[in-house]
């Protein structure tokens, strides 16, 4: 077995194309193997791509050749050789092995194959993320989250961290995971909004990007029980400024993302079009009219479900803000509309097929109004004492929103489910690996 030799530089697979005629060393995993007479063709992948490696007995020696012939997929290898043009190889070149070092052979055939059943995909998720498709999705995920963060930082926002273990609901108690917290009971957070609201009194404009937890019993393509939530909060921002801000952030970031990754995005979603400004805005009341005119029976005051969201989003055909929801359909912290107190200054941004990708609004900033809304909603103001304090000491008008990060990524790439937009999904039925 040959180990590293001097003078040959280690390369990433993606940079081999520019080294034709030269020597290179790569490290990666065996993706596909084909034996043709006295030649073994290996496809080796690393994080950057896949390259064909041709192994000949007379070049690597009998012992290494025999070992390579027996290798199972996913074995880890180091290969050194000459980068040669070859029209038959994918990409037009291959690596002609001069030395092969098996770093760790796979002990069994890996349970990865084409057309795996959905059960197998989730059962072997830790291996499935090695696939070329998931390699690309995970790179795009990393890029999109970086771009969103960078956009907010460039606009004067500070990233803050919020706790995952909390004592009270923000979005309704029924959907919370309970945790035993020493001798007490606590919950996994549904949203970091309240903690961001606390932070604006120090930093004015803040965001966080971290998991939120929802114990929803929904087995749909758009629900995870743990999802990554980008939440933004700013003081002195009113409802209209909030909608403008969401629109600016999303159109800018999605356009830049698309420009940077056009080829990949189009491979996943050939008909993708970047978002365009201005987003259409309709009030909840107008949405009810639109639905009624489309033959859907919906009583004013009832929240919109998947079916209703689908009709609205597909009719409008581009991202649409639905605003001014009846207050009973929204969490207690939303500011009542001064012109019509039956509705609140809340907005959901809908796209199809992922439905709501953001939810947000202007917050109640008055101590008494908030206390009354907490009571009216059946909660105990004592459980929200610290949150009420924020209205006791120098309250200011403020707004914010939360973006379901996997929903946005799945929408852009038109993934069949948001489960594919996260490396290790958590749903009602998936909690392993």
Chain positions contacting ligand NSS, by CB under 6 A: 170-171, 191, 193, 214, 216, 223-224, 227, 229, 231, 356-360, 400-402, 404, 406-407
* CB nearer ligand NSS, residue 243 or residue 357: 357
Q: Measuring CA to CA, which residue among 196, 21, 7 is closest to residue 94? A: 21
* Shortest separation between residue 40's beta carbon and ligand NSS, angstroms: 45
SS3 label, residue 326: strand
Instruction: List, as one string, the DSSP characters of 235-257.
Output: ET--HHHHHHHHHHHHHHHHHHH
For residues 332 and 99, what is the distance between their CA atoms, to the nearest angstrom? Answer: 67
* Shortest separation between residue 62's beta carbon and ligand NSS, angstroms: 55
For residues 115 and 287, what is the distance between their CA atoms, to the nearest angstrom? Answer: 41
For residues 274 and 268, what is the distance between their CA atoms, to the nearest angstrom? Answer: 14
* CB nearer ligand NSS, residue 52 or residue 362: 362
Rounded to 5°, angle at Cα 346 from 410 and 281 = 70
CA–centroid distance for 412 within its chain: 11
* Residue 189 in tokens: 């957070």
CA distances from 431 to 152, 358, 419 (A): 32, 25, 12
Question: In which element (H, E) is residue 230 found?
Answer: strand 226-235
Helices (H), 41-117: 57-60, 62-70
Q: How is residue 334 annotated by DSSP?
A: B
* CB nearer ligand NSS, residue 130 or residue 310: 310
* CB nearer ligand NSS, residue 25 or residue 327: 327
* Shortest separation between residue 170's beta carbon and ligand NSS, angstroms: 5
* CB nearer ligand NSS, residue 49 or residue 425: 425
* CB nearer ligand NSS, residue 146 or residue 428: 428
Q: How is residue 10 annotated by DSSP?
A: B
Q: How many CB atoms lie within 10 A of CB 258?
A: 18
* Residue 129 in tokens: 């993320």
Q: How is residue 418 annotated by DSSP?
A: G
* Shortest separation between residue 145's beta carbon and ligand NSS, angstroms: 14
* CB nearer ligand NSS, residue 81 or residue 361: 361
* Shortest separation between residue 187's beta carbon and ligand NSS, angstroms: 14
The residue nearest ligand NSS at its CB is: 404
Q: How many CB atoms lie within 10 A of CB 156?
A: 10
* Shortest separation between residue 406's beta carbon and ligand NSS, angstroms: 6
* Shortest separation between residue 159's beta carbon and ligand NSS, angstroms: 14
* Shortest separation between residue 368's beta carbon and ligand NSS, angstroms: 22
* CB nearer ligand NSS, residue 332 or residue 401: 401
* Shortest separation between residue 432's beta carbon and ligand NSS, angstroms: 19
* CB nearer ligand NSS, residue 214 or residue 324: 214
For residues 360 and 106, what is the distance between their CA atoms, to the nearest angstrom? Answer: 49
Q: Measuring CA to CA, which residue among 4, 60, 256 is closest to residue 146? A: 256
């Amino acid at each position: 077995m040959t180990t590293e030799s001097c003078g040959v530089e280690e390369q990433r697979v993606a940079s081999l194309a520019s080294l034709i005629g030269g020597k290179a060393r790569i490290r990666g995993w065996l993706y596909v193997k084909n034996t043709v007479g006295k030649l073994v063709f290996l496809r080796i992948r690393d994080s950057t791509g896949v390259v064909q490696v041709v192994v000949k007995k007379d070049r690597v020696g009998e012992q290494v050749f025999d070992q390579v012939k027996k290798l199972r997929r996913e074995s880890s290898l180091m290969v050194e050789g000459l980068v040669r043009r070859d029209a038959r190889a994918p990409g037009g070149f291959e690596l002609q092995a001069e030395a092969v070092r098996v770093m760790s052979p796979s002990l069994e055939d890996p349970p990865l194959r084409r057309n795996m059943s959905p059960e197998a995909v989730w059962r072997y998720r830790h291996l499935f993320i090695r696939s070329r498709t998931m390699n690309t999705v995970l790179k795009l995920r990393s890029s999109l989250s970086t771009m969103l963060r960078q956009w907010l930082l460039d606009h004067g926002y500070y990233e803050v961290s919020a706790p995952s273990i909390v004592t009270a609901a923000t979005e309704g108690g029924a959907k919370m995971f309970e945790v035993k917290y020493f001798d007490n009971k606590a919950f996994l957070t549904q949203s970091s909004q309240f903690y961001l609201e606390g932070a604006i009194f120090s930093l004015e404009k803040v965001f966080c990007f971290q998991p939120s937890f929802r114990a929803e019993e929904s087995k749909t393509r758009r629900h995870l029980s743990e999802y990554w939530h980008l939440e933004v909060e700013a003081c002195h921002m009113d409802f209209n400024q909030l909608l403008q801000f969401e629109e600016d952030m999303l159109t800018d970031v999605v356009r830049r993302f698309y420009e940077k990754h056009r080829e990949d995005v189009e491979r996943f979603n050939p008909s993708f079009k970047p978002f365009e400004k201005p987003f259409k805005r309709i009030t909840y009341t107008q949405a009810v009219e639109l639905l009624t005119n489309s033959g859907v029976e919906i009583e004013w005051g009832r929240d919109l479900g998947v079916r209703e969201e689908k009709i609205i989003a597909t009719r409008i055909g581009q991202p649409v803000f639905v605003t001014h929801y009846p207050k009973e359909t929204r969490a207690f912290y939303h500011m009542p509309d001064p012109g019509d107190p039956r509705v609140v200054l809340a907005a959901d941004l809908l796209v199809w097929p992922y439905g709501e990708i953001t939810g947000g609004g202007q917050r109640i900033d008055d101590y008494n109004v908030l206390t009354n809304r907490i009571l009216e909603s059946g909660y105990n103001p004592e459980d929200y004492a610290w949150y009420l304090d924020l209205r006791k000491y120098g309250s200011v008008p403020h707004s914010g929103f939360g973006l379901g990060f996997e929903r946005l990524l799945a929408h852009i790439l038109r993934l069949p489910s948001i489960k594919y937009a996260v490396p290790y999904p958590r749903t009602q039925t998936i909690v392993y690996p």
